[in-house]
Each structure stands twice: as C-alpha cells, then as structure tokens.
Amino acid sequence: MAQLAKVAKVADVPGAVIAAGGLVGGYGVARWTKKRPLGGAVLAVAGAAAARQWQQRAGGKTAGALTAVYVAAFAGSHPLAKKVGAWPAVFGVAGAVAVASWAVADRKST
C-alpha cells in the first residue's frame, strides 16, 4: 500500500515542473558528468514523463504541442546560450516551457 501512495504522489507532479526540471537537470547532468548522452537521457525521460502528464490532463493534441515546445526550447537554448550564457539560457527556456505548460495543461487540473 505504501508503494501505491508514492506512485499517486508522483502522478500529481505538474507537467510544468517535470519539463522545466528535465531541461535544467539534463543540462546539469551533461555539464557535471561531461557526458552529453547522459544529459540527453535525463532530458528524454523527463520529456516523456511530462508528455504523459500533459496527455492525461489536457489530451493528445495539447500533449503533442507542448512536446514540440519542449523540443524547440531545448534546441533554442543552444543559440540563446551564445548570447546570454549557458545557465541563463537553460533557465530561460525552462521557465518558458513551464509557463506554457501551466497555461494550457496544468492550470486546468488545479
């Protein structure tokens, strides 16, 4: 029973938090381990978990759109980092994805 309660609590984490955490965590893992594929794995797992939350809360079309925003944010952080620095870029795109997620998916379920 205790394990089931833990699963229920994880399921309540908003997609915005998962997605932003995936972007920040993926970059952090890649930077600190110097293993980009490991950071990419963190990014991918978090993206899949966020997409699942979005699908459950707002439907498939919204989940697809937010997943595209997540991938675009990851890609966009690279050129942005050349202008403002790596960490500011990562935090900026993570914040943008979190706001988009909250606005179209997470806000509806709170």
Each residue's pLDDT tens digit, 54-77 = 999 999 999 999 999 999 999 999
Q: What is the pLDDT of residues 1-40, one digit of tens each?
A: 455 445 445 568 899 999 999 999 999 999 999 999 999 9
Per the domain annotation, does 8 fall within a domain?
Answer: no
Number of structural domains (the chain) is 1
Which of these, 58, 52, 66, lies nearest to 101 by C-alpha position? Answer: 66
Per the domain annotation, does 98 fall within a domain?
Answer: yes
DSSP-assigned letters across all residues of 9-77: HHHTS-HHHHHHHHHHHHHHHHHHHS-HHHHHHHHHHHHHHHHHHHHHHH-HHHHHHHHHHHHHHHHHH
Per the domain annotation, does 24 fall within a domain?
Answer: yes
Q: Are 20 and 100 in contact (CB under 8 A)?
A: no
User: What's the domain range around 85?
Assistant: 14-109
Distance CA 103, CA 65 (A): 13
Per the domain annotation, does 85 fall within a domain?
Answer: yes
Per the domain annotation, does 30 fall within a domain?
Answer: yes
Per the domain annotation, does 40 fall within a domain?
Answer: yes
Per the domain annotation, does 9 fall within a domain?
Answer: no
Per the domain annotation, does 7 fall within a domain?
Answer: no
